[in-house]
A and B are shown apart, each in its own frame.
Chain A
Amino acid sequence: MIEVRDLQVRYGERVVASVPELDVHAGECVAIVGESGSGKSTTLLALLGLTEGAHVSGNIRVCGVEVLQAPERRLREIRGARVALVMQSPQAALSPTTRLGTLMRRALKLHGRGEQAAQRGTVQGDGRGKVRRIMVEAVEAVMLDPGILRRYPHEISGGQAQRFAIALAIALGAEVILADEPTSALDVTVQAEVVGVLRRLRAERGLALLLVSHDLALVSTIADRVLVMKDGAVVESGPAGEVLAEPSHPYTRELLEALP
């Protein structure tokens, strides 16, 4: 799903992220860990071709698209529809003047999802009904009440907003979910819900998950492989069990010791 080779993101002379190798396959969960400013989020944005004003070199292949060579149009087709981004502060990611259902319907329309489903006959009903069905199914898949589609963003909780972001990815049929600190803005019980939803979707739908987090406890419960980043460079990578159990780099040990 994701293949990165020799990725380097520079702002002027400053290298903010340098990733020699990063692969995420379908059904797999890879976590990038590191402290703030270590280049984790920049790496995610680079995968979507959204690093404005930066100089990006290397090879990035996402869902068969060469991100650095592809025209903007082609990139817009994969953004959201095939690769979804779940952001750190879920409510800030929702426009306050738009109902959630409207937002989801527009996103589906933008990527022509309604018509596609109609043609394939995967969903019952006609036109609007089909879109509606897709929306309700997606929302229910993340354990939300379909009534939430009538709500405005300020009327829902952070956990609901985060699950809605995931529902949006499902509705659009995304194959890869990029999650940028998806739980750090949530309290502990809500974190568990969101993580549960992510884990289930990965198992049921074979979604690939690329998780950026500084929360090693979260990472240890969900990730297959881990990349540790410090000051824009990958200092250690490998299977989650190995890296977290026997860290070879002093920085990784430091991070682990910081755990409560």
Chain B
Amino acid sequence: MTQTRVAEEPVRLRRTLPKITDRFAAAGAVLIVLVLLATILAPWLAPYPVDRLAPVDALLPPSGAHWFGTDKVGRDVLTRVLYGGRTSLTIAVAVLAMSAAVGVTLGVVAGYAGGWVRDTIMRVTDVFLAFPALLLSLALAVVLQPSVTTAIVAIAATWWPWYARLSASVAASISTRGYVDAARCLGVPAPMIVLRHVLPNSLTPVLVQISLDAGGVILTAAALSYLGLGAQEPTAEWGLMVEQGQTLFTTNWWVVTFPGLAILVTAFAFNVLGEGLRNALDPRRVVK
């Protein structure tokens, strides 16, 4: 009985340890929350309606009335940046959700099953990885009708193999753990072992990878839009705004600069958060 009580002290200590102590990670998280709030609250924060055309006010520099200036057709850039975040972040979330869902499912099954199942899944994965990611996305986006949905599918198609690979290797190592053997010795059927033991215990590195990747996905989506293969007018999207503004850079710098900064800040914030998560969740740091 004393045994029970003795263990009580380290329990509380350990429970509080895995929280994010990294200052940069916290900064990243705060930035992301700010960006999210700004885009979610866009209808209330934005000073003008998102599609309000005002040719008279075209290409006004930043001022009290238009903090970020206006674009070629007189739309308020601040408004478009706020609304554009919705598109860009939606793309990021959708791409990562799809990639993780497909990649982790395949990866975990491959990692647990091993043998020919693993070989088959991993060879398919390798085929996808053999293409340069952006080229494959481009090809897909061209074949399908260019739109936000297309961009999401095209990017996800090149993104999931990384998750499959990552989770396959993690799941393979998890599958040799004592508790997986223990589950087998308890008569637990294989699908349940994968679902309840291998999957939850493989998720940490995947979560870290997701937050590290979010910035990359936003940049890729921006690249697709920039090449005219992602979001189309009049949708507000950061990459598209950069594309439209770049020819004006020397004369009207604000049209391209503000959406560019938005991409930069968001990508940076996700990266910092990912690094921080990786450090915080690193078992070598969690244990004692």
Contacts and interface: CB of A to CB of B under 8 A. Distances in A.
A76 B187 contact: yes
B90 to A, nearest CB: 30
A221 interface: no
Contacts of B184: 50, 79
Interface residues of A, number: 41
Interface stretch (B3-11, B45-53, B124-132, B219-227): B3-11
A110 B186 contact: yes
12 contacts: A79-B184, A80-B188, A87-B182, A93-B178, A95-B179, A95-B200, A97-B197, A98-B200, A107-B186, A157-B6, A159-B3, A190-B3
A168 B185 CA distance: 12
Contacts, number: 85
Nearest to B6: A157
A156 B7 contact: yes
A85 B188 CA distance: 13
Listed residue (B4, B186, B200) with the most chain A CB atoms within 10 angstroms of its CB: B186
Contacts of A147: 4
Contacts of A256: none
Contact of B1 (A143, A155, A156): A143
A193 B1 CA distance: 11
Nearest to A178: B185
A155 B200 contact: no
Give the secondary structure class of B's interface. Answer: helix
Interface in A40-91: 48, 50, 75-81, 84-85, 87, 89
Given A92-B177, A156-B7, 9 more contacts: A79-B185, A94-B182, A96-B179, A107-B186, A145-B1, A155-B15, A159-B3, A160-B3, A193-B3
A155 B17 CA distance: 13
A246 B188 CA distance: 43
Interface in B145-200: 177-179, 181-189, 192, 196-197, 200
A55 B43 CA distance: 69
Contacts of A118: none
B14 interface: yes
Listed residue (B1, B11, B178, B187) with the most chain A CB atoms within 10 angstroms of its CB: B187
A115 B4 CA distance: 31
Question: What size tier do the contact residues of chain B reach?
Answer: 20 to 34
B247 interface: no
Nearest to A190: B3
Given A143-B1, A157-B3, A110 B182 contact: no
Nearest to B200: A97
B201 interface: yes
Contact of B187 (A79, A94, A96, A160): A79
Nearest to B5: A145
B29 to A, nearest CB: 23
B186 A79 contact: yes
A49 B6 CA distance: 39
A77 B256 CA distance: 66
A144 interface: yes
